[in-house]
Structures are given as structure tokens and as C-alpha cells.
Amino acid sequence: MGGLVNRQGGIVNIGLEPMMLVGAFTAVVVSAQSGNPFLGVLAATVAGALLGLLFSWSITRLGANEIVAGLGLNLLVLGFFGYLLPTAFKIEGTLLPAGLVGLPKVEIPLVNQIPGLGPILSGHDILTYLSWLSVPLVSVFLYRTPLGIELRATGANEEAARAAGVPTLRLRDFSTVVAGAFSGLAGAQLSLGVVTLFNKQMTGGRGFIALAAFYFGDARPALTALGAVIFGVFEAAGFRLGSSGVPSQLVQMLPYLVVVISLTLVAVRRELRVRERARAAAA
């Protein structure tokens, strides 16, 4: 959802992955220090947002190319952890500080009684519920508030938006900060919700899958969420197949393969539509 807001604001953010990673790390460290996982989540959000702001300034004010800046951020963050973990924490792979508290699972009463659906809908950490809630919230923001409308105008046609008096640079910064904050939350969910540790490989390309999801969904909230679910289902299917004797490398490829295939289909459909319009115009 964060990347989607960013895309609507006109920036293709390939820095979602490192922003998630920073969020995951911050969450683990703050949670361990304070003993309160919610403080960890808050810190992860702020860290992601700050990184987003930095990233955005380099693009909107310093004129950096968004792809180059995004690549740089990826390499920088990976390198940073590669250096920091052995030197500061004296570990190679996984950070599991003493006193680390994960997020509690929340059972929704009644819902968890529903056979079949219960375990799917209930028993998650608060951030998972928040991510579900974010779909309608982002939708309302983008389509029902002046700020959201101006943001979409900026992303679709910056020149026209500026000519109409919309502060386009500030809006693009804002959208990147939102993307950073959401990525930070996503990272915290990984490191405090799914597992309770930090590893610099733990995001495993999810920031890029998110990118693929909003391309799949044409940056519309509901469709993008659908895309994310589809990719998630294939990832889960991969885990199941892994225990049934299919080579694990092939299985792990599955979600990414689905991403590539679905993006190709989306592109082909768009191209066909353009051609159809040209033909219609000539007739």
C-alpha cells in the first residue's frame, strides 16, 4: 500500500525493500531495549519514514534518478548491515538480542470459532490487521480527500498539476514518507510478528514483490491487495510443495515466476488496448 501511494504520487520506489529491512532491524533493537514491542513498531515506522524522506529529497530536490537512488539505497542498507552486525553485535547471520519480545497474537472472539475461516481471519498480530485495514483507508485517502486527489494528479501529470497550483514537490515527498512508514511497519511485522529475530536476508525480496503487486493492480488499492494475496498464496504453496519431494529451488522460484508471468500479461493487455484504440480512431 505504501509503494502504491508513492506510485500514485509519481515515484517508482524500488527502495521499499531496504526500508523494510531498516524497519525490521529498528523494531528488533527497540523492542529488545525497551521490552515493549509496540515501541519497537513505532520506532520502525519513524525509521522507515525518515529513510523515505531522505530518499525523496534526493529525487525531488537534488534531481537524482529514482531507480539509481533506489538501487543505491538497496546496496547501502545491505552493506550497512553486513558491516554493523559483525562489528557492533558480534554476529554473522541472525540477531536475537536478549529480552526481545514479539507482538502478541490477537484472537478475535467469535470469528475464531468459524470452521475453516477462523484460523485464516483470526490469530494474527495487530500489524496484520492494520495491513488489511490499510486497503480501504488508502482507497478513501486517494479518492475522497483533496490531498489524495492532488497526489494522483501529481503522479499522473505533474506539469498540469503544477499549472493548476498544486504543490507537487511536497506531495511527492509526502508520498515517499508514507511509503517509508508503511515499509517500516512491514519490516516490524516480519521481525516481531512472523518471527522474533532479525536477519539481513529476512525480507527476501518482499519489497520487490510489493512493487510487482501495485504494477499488477495498476496502483489501485483493491486490485493491488489482490495481487499481493495471489503472490502470497503461491509463496505458501511453495512451502507446502517443498515437503512433497519437488526440488526446493524450483519451489522457491514459484512466487517470483508468477510475478513475472502476471506482469507480462498485464503489459500485453495494455498494449492490445492501445492498438485497438488507434484502429477505432482510423475507422
- How many amino acids of this chain bind another protein (CB under 8 A)? 24
* CA pair distance 75, 79, nearest whole angstrom: 6
**Which residues have a Cβ under 8 Å from the Cβ of 175 and sit 6 or more positions away?**
5, 6, 8, 9, 10, 11, 56, 151, 155
Measured from the CB of residue 273, what is the shortest distance to another protein in angstroms? 11
Task: Name which position in 16, 49, 77, 161 contacts another protein (CB under 8 A).
Answer: 161
Please report, as residue ranges, which positions from 107 to 146 form the binding site for another protein (by CB under 8 A). 144-146
Nearest Cα residue to 184 out of 51, 90, 274: 51
By the rule CB under 8 A, 50 interacts with another protein: no
Please report, as residue ranges, which positions from 255 to 274 form the binding site for another protein (by CB under 8 A). 274
| Nearer residue to another protein within complex by CB, 148 or 187 | 148
Task: Name which position in 90, 109, 159, 269 contacts another protein (CB under 8 A).
Answer: 159
Measured from the CB of residue 29, what is the shortest distance to another protein in angstroms? 34
| Nearer residue to another protein within complex by CB, 113 or 145 | 145
Cell 533506489 appears where? 70
By the rule CB under 8 A, 157 interacts with another protein: yes
Q: What angle do CA 159, 164, 169 make, to 5 degrees?
A: 55
Task: Name which position in 53, 71, 78, 149 contacts another protein (CB under 8 A).
Answer: 149
By the rule CB under 8 A, 32 interacts with another protein: no
- The 8-class DSSP code of residue 118 comes to H
Please give the radius of gyration of the chain, using alpha carbons only, rounded to the nearest integer. Answer: 20
Measured from the CB of residue 62, what is the shortest distance to another protein in angstroms? 24
By the rule CB under 8 A, 279 interacts with another protein: yes
Measured from the CB of residue 15, what is the shortest distance to another protein in angstroms? 24
Quickly list DSSP for 174-234: HHHHHHHHHHHHHHHIIIIII-SSEETTTTTTHHHHHHHHHHHTTT-HHHHHHHHHHHHHH
Task: Name which position in 99, 165, 243, 269 contacts another protein (CB under 8 A).
Answer: 165
HSE-up (13 A, CA, CB side) for residue 124: 16
Measured from the CB of residue 212, what is the shortest distance to another protein in angstroms? 21
- Bridge partners for 105 per DSSP: 125
Q: Which three-class secondary structure string do you get for 18-84?
A: HHHHHHHHHHHHHHHHHCCHHHHHHHHHHHHHHHHHHHHHHHHCCCCCHHHHHHHHHHHHHHHHHHH
| Nearer residue to another protein within complex by CB, 149 or 195 | 149
By the rule CB under 8 A, 156 interacts with another protein: yes
| Nearer residue to another protein within complex by CB, 138 or 251 | 138
**Positions that interact with another protein (CB under 8 A):** 144-150, 152-153, 156-157, 159-161, 163-166, 274, 277-279, 281-282
